[in-house]
Amino acid sequence: MVKKKTMKIRTQSSKSSAVILLSGGIDSAACIVLLKNRKINVKAIFVDYGQLAAKYERIAAEKISKKYKVTFEYIKISSDKEFADGEIVGRNSFLIFTAMTFSKISSGLIVLGIHSGTQYYDCSKDFFLKTNEIVSKHSRDQIKLFAPFLDWSKRDIFNFCRLKRIPLSATYSCERGIWPACGECKSCKDRKELGC
């Protein structure tokens, strides 16, 4: 007998507008659909900070935004830093505070597609809770972080995408930033395991 798994979505009902950190991948695309289904006013931002995958991530983020009729904002940050594939330490903190500084958000939610089952600290509950407190204090309690999939696995998010008919072929996740995707980096292997 197969047990049906009930997926809980962390709620944040007091805010009616949201800025989604849209990477062009599966998780952030799922965030757009979830919030739009809740009638939340959604805006997407894509941050190009010189990551290897910036070009194809941006293309995917624009496609997803267009499909779901979401305002799309592109932010480019320049430096002489060269990134490799794999973990970029501090990435989610950087993206959150870039959104606070450059996206003109004065109240509402900053939404991340982070989920369970990853070893990265900036995808953990501890990171989320501590960073949310800092964001709240900076904004005089006007801005909150929202991570609807914090307790979900990647498989849970994939199943949600299939249920909602999110076009996963429009998303992009290759950390090496090549086309077609390399199939060898951690993100590509995750997609292969999911069958997408």
Q: What is the CATH number of the domain that holds 57?
A: 3.40.50.620
Q: Which domain holds residue 176?
A: 17-194
Q: What is the pLDDT of residues 5-59, one digit of tens each?
A: 444 544 444 458 999 999 999 999 999 999 999 999 999 999 999 999 999 999 9
- What distances in angstroms separate CA 192 from CA 67, 93, 126, 180, one per listed residue? 24, 28, 29, 14
Tell me, yes or no, whether 31 lies in a domain: yes
Tell me, yes or no, whether 12 lies in a domain: no
Closest CA to 173 of 164, 163, 162, 184: 184
Radius of gyration of the chain (CA): 16
pTM (predicted TM-score):
0.90
Considering its fold, how many domains does the chain have in total? 1
Say what the pLDDT of residue 104 is: 86
Report residues of the chain scoring pLDDT below 70: 1-15
Say what the pLDDT of residue 96 is: 98
CB within 8 Å of 58: residues ≥ 6 apart: 24, 46, 48, 74
Tell me, yes or no, whether 90 lies in a domain: yes
Q: Enter the tokens of residue 81.
A: 């830093």
Tell me, yes or no, whether 83 lies in a domain: yes
Say what the pLDDT of residue 1 is: 38
Tell me, yes or no, whether 4 lies in a domain: no
Tell me, yes or no, whether 10 lies in a domain: no
Q: How far apart are CA 42 and CA 129, in angstroms?
A: 22
Tell me, yes or no, whether 3 lies in a domain: no
CB within 8 Å of 38: residues ≥ 6 apart: none
Say what the pLDDT of residue 15 is: 54
Tell me, yes or no, whether 2 lies in a domain: no
